[in-house]
């Protein structure tokens, strides 16, 4: 396969490198509206072709079969629709789109064409999400009762992200409603329990900072809220609490599941403390287990063991969210990806790239496909509407699950976590 990047900004860089390294990718090309970024990407990654816009790339490089969307977040929906219209597979950085209409159109086009669509949801591969998915699916937790997850990222830390490509009025885009970027928090919890949201009530925190980002008239959405908290009624009857905060005095962790309670067992997390508890309803003796050895990164656990870690700083250090955790099955990755230097976002990037390539080259359905992505995104769109109506309970439109007969990308799950460290040879190498 050959992939063309739309956007060669900050976030694209890691992904250009990984797609180029992948054994099943023949060529990577880039397009950006800023010529300097095209030149830089071509130079850094030794690319042969670069273009001045997405449209030019579509016209001049018809042999490119897949498009990677790494443009600013509010542009993803229209770009994905244009790429699908052109008959291309689509990998899109989060989110899938910012309106219900865009998202509906994407799911309909993917169904009609059979093309691959995958949203690059980093948090789906976060150790806490994988741990909760596997533990929940094992049945040990029982039926889902209640869970909490969140994405905390202070807007002050993102001034650069928005001003980089946003021009003199970058605040107008920076003020996007927090719940219009819900996929990190929602994907972790919803994918763990394999349910979707039916109803929502959401409250917003009305911002009063003087940085001219949030408030009526200040941004493209007239959004007054820097922080939003939503309660969702889930399809299985349980309740999920999601926080999307952009003005908040917490540094790390930023995207994590605080708790997932089932009728029989529970996962709880506080910074780097991860525990599993078995409750009385399990019929077995209740117990508590520290599962940090699976969920914290391997480097963190090593340094903890060696006594070289200062918990005051290190437990919230970026250093310890860069790297694989034991629960992440490195053995399923192409060999070249297994020992890549640490990437941010818990080394989720190699998994994202490999899943998309597997889907395109086999025609199978990837995780975080169009229907999964719709179920991560639409609840946020409606949650913001509810916040504007002071918490009114609102129904959430559901576009359904992926077609049952579309075979999914699968991997063998190993039942021995000790072996999930990686370092295996696999058939596909
Ligand atoms: N954890 C995560 O999942 C995560 C983390 C960071 C960023 N992101 C997402 O990645 C995306 C990119 O982030 P970034 O920080 O690199 O943004 P950026 O602003 O640095 O880069 C975006 C680039 O897209 C280009 N672009 C826009 N429209 C284009 C078009 N029509 N043709 C060609 N180029 C076009 C712009 O010129 C710009 O250079 C964002 O949507 C962001 O939400 C996701």
- Which DSSP string do the residues of 60-104 spell out, in sequence order? H-TT--EEEE-S-GGGHHHHHHHHHHTT-EEEEES-S-SSHHHHH
For a ligand 1 pocket test, name from 71, 92, 183 the mutation site with the most ligand atoms within 8 angstroms of its C-beta.
Answer: 71
Mean pLDDT score, 214-220: 97
- For ligand 1, the distance from its centroid to the CA atom of residue 32, given in whole angstroms, is 10
6 lines ligand 1 (CB under 6 A): yes
What are the residues facing 266 on neighbouring strands? 261, 277
Going by alpha carbons, the residue nearest to atom 13 of ligand 1 is: 11
Q: How far apart are CA 258 and CA 149, in angstroms?
A: 6
Going by alpha carbons, the residue nearest to atom 25 of ligand 1 is: 7
Residue with tokens 């329990």: 193
Per-residue confidence band for 429, with pLDDT thresholds at 50, 70 and 90 = very low
74 lines ligand 1 (CB under 6 A): no
Q: Please say if the pLDDT value at position 229 is more than 80.
A: yes
Report residue 365: phi and psi, to 5°: -85, 125
For a ligand 1 pocket test, name from 11, 59, 351 the mutation site with the most ligand atoms within 8 angstroms of its C-beta.
Answer: 11
Per-residue confidence band for 358, with pLDDT thresholds at 50, 70 and 90 = very high
- For ligand 1, the distance from its centroid to the CA atom of residue 77, given in whole angstroms, is 13
Per-residue confidence band for 165, with pLDDT thresholds at 50, 70 and 90 = confident
46-55 pLDDT, tens digit per residue, is: 999 999 999 9
Q: Are strands 239-245 and 117-120 parallel, antiparallel or unpaired?
A: unpaired
Q: Please say if the pLDDT value at position 273 is more than 80.
A: yes
Global pTM value: 0.94
Burial 157-167 (b: 16+ CB within 10 A, else e): eebebbeebee
- For ligand 1, the distance from its centroid to the CA atom of residue 334, given in whole angstroms, is 26
DSSP assignments along 134-185, one per residue: HHHHTTTT-SEEEEEEEEE--GGGGHHHHHHHH-TTTHHHHT--GGGS-HHH
Going by alpha carbons, the residue nearest to atom 5 of ligand 1 is: 11
Q: How far apart are CA 171 and CA 392, in angstroms?
A: 28
Going by alpha carbons, the residue nearest to atom 39 of ligand 1 is: 9
Q: Please say if the pLDDT value at position 415 is more than 50.
A: no
40 lines ligand 1 (CB under 6 A): no
Going by alpha carbons, the residue nearest to atom 27 of ligand 1 is: 71
338 lines ligand 1 (CB under 6 A): no
Q: How far apart are CA 194 and CA 189, in angstroms?
A: 8
Q: Please say if the pLDDT value at position 427 is more than 60.
A: no
Confidence at residue 369, expressed as pLDDT on a 0 to 100 scale: 98
Confidence at residue 412, expressed as pLDDT on a 0 to 100 scale: 52
126 lines ligand 1 (CB under 6 A): no
Q: Which domains does the chain have, with CATH numbers?
A: 2-121 (3.40.50.720), 123-421 (3.30.360.10)
Summary mean pLDDT of the chain: 92
71 lines ligand 1 (CB under 6 A): yes
Q: How far apart are CA 174 and CA 161, in angstroms?
A: 9
Higher pLDDT, 22 or 336: 22
161 lines ligand 1 (CB under 6 A): yes
**What is the position in ligand 1's atom list of the atom closest to the CA of 348?**
1
Contacts of 296 (CB under 8 A, 6+ apart): 127, 272, 274, 304, 320, 325
Residue 297 DSSP class: B
**What is the position in ligand 1's atom list of the atom closest to the CA of 73?**
41
Per-residue confidence band for 364, with pLDDT thresholds at 50, 70 and 90 = very high
- For ligand 1, the distance from its centroid to the CA atom of residue 335, given in whole angstroms, is 28
């Amino acid at each position: 396969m050959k992939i063309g990047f739309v956007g060669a900004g900050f976030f694209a860089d890691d992904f250009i490198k990984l797609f180029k390294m992948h054994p099943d990718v023949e060529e990577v090309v880039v397009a950006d509206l800023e010529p300097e970024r095209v030149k830089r990407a071509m130079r850094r990654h030794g690319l042969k072709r670069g273009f001045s816009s997405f449209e030019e790339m579509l016209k001049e490089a018809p042999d490119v079969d897949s498009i990677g969307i790494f443009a600013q977040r509010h542009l993803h929906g229209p770009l994905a629709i244009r790429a699908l219209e052109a008959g291309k597979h689509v990998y899109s950085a989060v989110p899938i789109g910012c309106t219900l209409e865009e998202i509906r159109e994407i799911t309909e086009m993917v169904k009609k064409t059979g093309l691959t669509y995958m949203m690059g949801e980093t948090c789906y591969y976060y150790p806490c999400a994988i741990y909760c998915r596997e533990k929940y699916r094992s049945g040990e937790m029982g039926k889902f009762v209640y869970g909490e997850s969140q994405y905390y990222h202070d807007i002050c830390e993102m001034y650069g992200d928005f001003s980089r490509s946003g021009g003199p009025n970058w605040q107008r885009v920076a003020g996007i409603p927090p719940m219009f970027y819900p996929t990190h928090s929602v994907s972790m919890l919803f994918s763990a329990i394999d349910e979707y949201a039916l109803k929502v009530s959401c409250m917003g925190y009305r911002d009063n900072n003087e940085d001219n980002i949030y408030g009526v008239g200040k941004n493209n959405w007239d959004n007054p809220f820097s922080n939003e908290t939503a309660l969702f009624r889930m399809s299985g009857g349980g309740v999920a609490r999601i926080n999307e905060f952009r003005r908040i005095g917490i540094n790390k962790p930023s995207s994590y599941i605080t708790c997932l309670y089932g009728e029989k067992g529970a996962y709880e997390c506080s910074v780097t403390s991860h525990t599993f508890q078995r409750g009385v309803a399990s019929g077995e003796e209740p117990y508590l287990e520290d599962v940090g050895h699976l969920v914290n990164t391997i480097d963190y656990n090593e340094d903890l063991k060696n006594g070289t870690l200062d918990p005051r700083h290190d437990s919230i250090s970026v250093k310890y969210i860069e790297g694989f955790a034991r629960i992440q099955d490195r053995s399923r990755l192409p060999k070249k990806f297994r020992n890549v230097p640490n990437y941010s976002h818990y080394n989720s990037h190699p998994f994202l790239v490999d899943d998309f390539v597997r889907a395109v080259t086999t025609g199978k359905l990837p995780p975080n496909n169009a229907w999964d992505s719709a179920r991560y995104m639409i609840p946020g769109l409606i949650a913001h509407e509810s916040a504007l109506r002071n918490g009114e309970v609102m129904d959430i439109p559901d576009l359904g699950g992926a077609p049952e007969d579309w075979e999914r990308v699968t991997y063998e799950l190993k039942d021995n976590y000790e072996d999930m460290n990686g370092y295996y040879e696999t058939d596909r190498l």
